[in-house]
Amino acid sequence: MTEDKWVKRWVVTSYSGNGEYIIAQDKEGNWACSCMAWTRHMPRRDCKHILEVKGGGGKTITEAVVDRILGR
């Protein structure tokens, strides 16, 4: 089994309400997001989803899974 590069993960709902994005942080403190604004642009800058997580928003992966199970 290989070690996972990403040590922290969050889920942020898209601003249009039509989906979710995964935001991750590696052990060196580097950020990534699954949105097109982050994945398709170079050089990469923090997208609005990363900024939301840095500001205390988003849900951890565990919180998002529990909410989904409970139908929230």
Tell me which residue has tokens 């590069």. Answer: 5
Q: What is the pLDDT of residues 35-52, one digit of tens each?
A: 999 999 889 899 999 999
Cα 46 to chain center, whole Å?
11
How high is the pLDDT of residue 65?
87
Per-domain residue ranges for the chain? 7-63
Q: Give dist(CA 35, CA 47) in Å, integer.
A: 8
Which pLDDT does position 18 carry in this prediction? 83
pLDDT of residue 46: 94
Q: How far apart are CA 11 and CA 15, in angstroms?
A: 12
Q: Can you tell me the distance from the alpha carbon of 9 to that of 52, in angstroms, rounded to the nearest whole number?
A: 13
Residues in the chain predicted with pLDDT less than 50, given as ranges, are: none
